[in-house]
């Protein structure tokens, strides 16, 4: 049995009987604390999930911002090919090779960014009648059943080719100029970004309007 002296000793060592513990910070006894533990775990997993979503969005947004910088140099290189070939009779092939690299990197980012902004050209003769919820379900189903398997297949089949090209620093076949491996690397970048966007779409967080 717990005697009266026990209540006098416990406060002195920093331990309180259940009946004397103040109800601060929402504490209402041992039962309340035990019942709240699963909610804390769920909140923690929710925080982890949304942190991953924010990181994925930032990666997609940052890649799109970098790709936009390539537009003007790409247009300039394409414009300079004719005067370099006809007037200077030099450097036109180098300009063409560099333009190919810029174009490949730009397209590798543009596909996922267009998906994120819901800006793909699409025939909507029937889809325009669907509700917003139906559009959302179709987008998730397409990402899960089409994009996800396609990305995994392309990554699996293209990984050896891309790795060998990067390892050998492959150049262009006709001009022997360096940098052709960047075009093959752009294929891997395209697939990774599309896969990332597909995962966001499956999670229901892939729309650019939801960006912070």
Distance between first and last Cα of the chain: 60
Judge whether 18 lies within some domain.
Answer: no
Residue pLDDT, tens place only, 19-52? 444 444 444 444 443 344 444 344 445 555 678 8
Judge whether 72 lies within some domain.
Answer: yes
Predicted pLDDT of residue 23: 44
Alpha-carbon distance values, 159 to 112, 187, 192 (Å) = 19, 10, 11
Judge whether 4 lies within some domain.
Answer: no
Judge whether 179 lies within some domain.
Answer: yes
Residue pLDDT, tens place only, 78-126? 999 999 999 999 999 999 999 999 999 999 999 999 999 988 887 777 8
Judge whether 24 lies within some domain.
Answer: no
Query: What single string gives the DSSP state of each residue in 54-123?
Result: HHHHHHHHHHHHHHHHTHHHHHHHHHHHHHIIIII-SSHHHHHHHHHHHHHHHHHHHHHHHHHTT-----
Residue pLDDT, tens place only, 50-65? 788 899 999 999 999 9
Closest by Cα among 48, 49, 100 to 74 = 100
Judge whether 3 lies within some domain.
Answer: no
- Domain count for the chain, please give it: 1
What residues make up the domain containing 189? 41-118+129-206
Percent of the chain as helix, strand, coil, to the nearest 5: 75, 0, 25
Judge whether 20 lies within some domain.
Answer: no
Judge whether 11 lies within some domain.
Answer: no
């Amino acid at each position: 049995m717990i005697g009266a002296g026990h209540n006098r000793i416990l406060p002195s060592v920093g331990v309180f009987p259940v009946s004397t513990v103040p109800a601060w910070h929402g504490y209402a006894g041992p039962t309340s604390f035990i019942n709240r533990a699963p909610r804390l775990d769920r909140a923690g997993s929710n925080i982890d999930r949304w942190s991953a979503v924010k990181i994925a969005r930032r990666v997609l947004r940052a890649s799109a911002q970098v790709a936009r910088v390539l537009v003007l140099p790409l247009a300039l290189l394409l414009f300079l090919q004719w005067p370099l070939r006809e007037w200077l009779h030099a450097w036109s092939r180098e300009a063409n090779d560099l333009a190919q690299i810029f174009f490949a990197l730009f397209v590798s980012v543009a596909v996922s960014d267009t998906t994120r902004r819901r800006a793909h050209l699409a025939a909507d003769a029937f889809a325009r009648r669907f509700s917003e919820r139906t559009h959302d379900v179709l987008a998730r189903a397409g990402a899960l059943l089409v994009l996800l398997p396609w990305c995994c297949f392309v990554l699996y089949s293209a990984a050896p080719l891309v790795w060998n090209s990067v390892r050998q620093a492959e150049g262009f076949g006709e001009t022997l100029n360096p940098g052709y491996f960047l075009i093959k690397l752009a294929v891997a970048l395209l697939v990774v970004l599309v896969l990332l966007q597909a995962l966001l779409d499956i999670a229901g967080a892939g729309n650019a309007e939801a960006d912070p």
